[in-house]
Structure 1
């Protein structure tokens, strides 16, 4: 084979391996042309360094993978690459809730000169098998997830079942009349860690209800490390482009245990500013009320049953704060992923015309299940934006 000829994807000299530091940096340079967006190359590379060194990702939390061609007597050549991030997760089944290992897959990239050769397919096939035992101690990972921006078919063909992926949108406004809603206040960094701890306790109790079902249920945990990673991403861009950051991380209603509801948010500025909107994403909506345990996707029946509840009004109040924050930061819309009936009812208190949109191409929530059941028989709950990577 000539020095410029590319190997067949099934060549025995093609392997999936952990990237060296030099290969990781080379991958960042390679994908920068498509992903750096409004950042210049230097800023993009610095942002990637910042994100790799968060609590979630440092010390082995993030692994960079590369598919390489490495003939016995020749140099190693990278064909494509991706990343995996170790995630805390819960599995509810057979009457109990277990702490399990899961992985989020990100940054799947193949240079244009290597495309059309099947390398990404080979990489994902190898990665799916590798992650079953990766960083799982003496056991195995329960599942891995990814968010496809190329539709549902490619990753499904390699083991990641596409799940329903929906969102509801609100318009930013600084002038909403919150009459009839409870008072809400904004959250700062100092508030987040304790609320994440409380949210995890609530999630465990509610997952225990799912454990009574015949179907396994899984969720990623919205812990402080995960939120801090999102905030670091937002803060880096805001500092680079606006020379400032926001101290507002979300909003909360209620001061007493058992009565609170809150949300976390993060701003995302698009890769292509001229065609795509600035979006304030609601990372997570949490409700402390023990009677509130709805993991189901929104439905007309569910909305009608809960629309007059205090929880719905509390959610509406924190989302009204999000509208004001988004307006202040010149965001074009607010998105809430995979809303429950309570969330839709709350949004419709603020905008009666708001409806749920179902995505078919971008940010498709996809899960590979390592249990005996088919992935279609697993309930993936809390598919909110916090879980994206």
Structure 2
């Protein structure tokens, strides 16, 4: 079949049928299945569709299709997915709830690449998401994606690259050092209360910082549905491949302290890579929460959490512990454990990118809490 040019009126952005989504998952599995077999990857994607974050339309599968003239048939050219997420937008000391969309699983088969189809699709998706799954007369706050092909392609189509840095420590079996506070591992049952406290802390910080700024500040909410989605991905992989022992449900992160207002905690998720891959298997700290960051003792407290994360990474068969876009306080804690570690500025993979739908341009927006929990 002869295919049209990328600007043809016979190319359309559509929501995929279940059959088209399955065909696309078969096609993109070579890039996105990681350590899983094709059969396991397809089961994982079906499983993830039935989570609170993604069920009942929370996930939308988009396809760019070619419909030949005088025909009702259509051929899928490329595809991606979007996940609806809760968002906060702060302006002038006021914080409002909004809708954000995370774009993921962008894929164009090799035979269709280099023809402008992926650019056509992603540009149309970006425009469609502005009014997608919001109340009539309203619009989405923003959409995000995490580029593995550098900064230029998505920037050309409306997504601004934002800071994409990380700092890492090696996995290491270690005991708590003298002078460090006690650490307790977090279970599934701990997360709802901590998410509520974290959201309250976010709202308060955004309110204060936005009072003296003319810019908009946005954030995605690390709510239980988001954390459950991350946990379900790693649970499925571990259940298939038996990569680490014990119940992961009892090891979702770690916390220091019991008194609200002075605690520090983190959530984490495990990513196992293939032995032949260059990328290390990583325990990602998806969110680090510091209730009283101005307290100088918090550096030592965070260091205790990092020690626990290193031990967990080692026990899980991983190579390193990684934190995205660390604060100065967090960097100081990493340096307490290893003075030689450096903050790495990523230029190619996992480039955090944001498309703004509000007033002004993307240059008028700050992205707060740009951490791994927002990835999809």
Using structure 2 for the length normalisation, give the TM-score: 0.96
- SS where residue 207 of structure 1 aligns? helix
The residue aligned with 1:229 is: 229
- SS where residue 96 of structure 2 aligns? strand
**1:311: how far off?**
1.7
Alignment of 1:19-34 (within 5 A): 19-34=16-31
CA contact (8 A) 1:93 1:210 kept: no
The residue aligned with 1:217 is: 217
CA contact (8 A) 2:176 2:304 kept: no
The residue aligned with 2:272 is: 269
Aligned partner (choices 286, 289, 292) of residue 286 of structure 1: 289
**1:72: how far off?**
4.2
Distance 2:139 2:201 in 1: 26
**1:271: how far off?**
4.9
The residue aligned with 1:295 is: none
Alignment of 1:252-263 (within 5 A): 252-263=255-266
Using structure 1 for the length normalisation, give the TM-score: 0.92
The 1:262–1:190 alpha-carbon spacing in structure 2 relative to 1, beyond 3 Å, is: same
Alignment of 1:9-24 (within 5 A): 9-24=6-21
The residue aligned with 1:343 is: 330
The question of 1:163 aligning with 2:162 is answered yes
The 1:273–1:237 alpha-carbon spacing in structure 2 relative to 1, beyond 3 Å, is: farther
Distance 2:328 2:235 in 1: 32
The residue aligned with 1:333 is: 320
Alignment of 1:138-217 (within 5 A): 138=136, 139-212=138-211, 213-217=213-217
**1:279: how far off?**
0.4
The 1:273–1:229 alpha-carbon spacing in structure 2 relative to 1, beyond 3 Å, is: farther
**1:349: how far off?**
1.2
**1:137: how far off?**
0.9
**1:276: how far off?**
2.7
Distance 2:179 2:310 in 1: 17
Per-residue CA distance 1:219-247 (angstroms, 9 max, x = gap): 00010100100000000000111175422
The residue aligned with 1:81 is: 79
The question of 1:312 aligning with 2:299 is answered yes
CA contact (8 A) 1:68 1:76 kept: yes
Distance 1:95 1:339 in 2: 25
Structure 1: stretches of 5+ with no match in the other structure: 293-305
CA contact (8 A) 1:66 1:80 kept: yes
Distance 1:223 1:388 in 2: 13
The residue aligned with 2:55 is: 58
CA contact (8 A) 1:262 1:287 kept: yes
Distance 1:137 1:273 in 2: 47
Distance 1:23 1:285 in 2: 38
Distance 1:216 1:276 in 2: 35
The residue aligned with 2:374 is: 387
The 1:274–1:153 alpha-carbon spacing in structure 2 relative to 1, beyond 3 Å, is: closer
The question of 1:37 aligning with 2:34 is answered yes
Per-residue CA distance 1:164-195 (angstroms, 9 max, x = gap): 11000011111255222211111111111111
Q: Which moved more, 1:150-159 or 1:195-204?
A: 195-204
Per-residue CA distance 1:10-42 (angstroms, 9 max, x = gap): 111111010011000010001112222321111
CA contact (8 A) 1:35 1:271 kept: no
CA contact (8 A) 1:38 1:273 kept: no
**1:135: how far off?**
0.6
Distance 1:310 1:70 in 2: 63
Distance 1:354 1:231 in 2: 28
The residue aligned with 2:66 is: 69
- SS where residue 280 of structure 2 aligns? coil
Structure 2: stretches of 5+ with no match in the other structure: none
The residue aligned with 1:371 is: 358
The 1:119–1:274 alpha-carbon spacing in structure 2 relative to 1, beyond 3 Å, is: closer
Distance 2:60 2:83 in 1: 6
**1:210: how far off?**
2.3
Distance 2:347 2:258 in 1: 40
Aligned residues: 370
